[in-house]
Amino acid sequence: MRITPNLLATLLALAIAPGAHAGEHVVTQKNKSFSVTRLAVKTGDTVRFTNDDPFNHNIFSLSEVKSFDLGSYGHGLSKTVVLDKPGMVEVECAVHPDMKLMVEVRK
């Protein structure tokens, strides 16, 4: 493989990237649904789940990539999850079975 300036720039960007820009993504719960149904994040990013409904939600995932259970919490409160491995994470609500969110955790 020839090392072109473009390739070099790409390799440098990849080398610097991990952890350098861990971001936070806010997903609100309102009217028994997530504010987005699909979300793409980078490995190491945080998703903050904010409850904007006047009743409780219980956000969880049984996905292999990231399984978690944020427990039941009410209006105005939020909890966070760090997505530390790449892959697909299906997020659901234990109180409202119709609530679904697919998070793609990119490398």
Contact residues: Cu ion, CB under 5 A: 57, 93, 95-96
State which residue, 85 or 96, has the beta carbon closest to Cu ion: 96
User: What is the nearest approach in angstroms of Cu ion to the Cβ of residue 96?
Assistant: 4
Across-strand partners of 46?
24, 82
CA 50 from centre of chain: 13
State which residue, 18 or 76, has the beta carbon closest to Cu ion: 76
C-alpha angle 73/75/79, rounded to 5°?
50
Half-sphere exposure of 94 (CA within 13 A, CB side): 12
State which residue, 22 or 35, has the beta carbon closest to Cu ion: 35
User: What is the nearest approach in angstroms of Cu ion to the Cβ of residue 98?
Assistant: 9
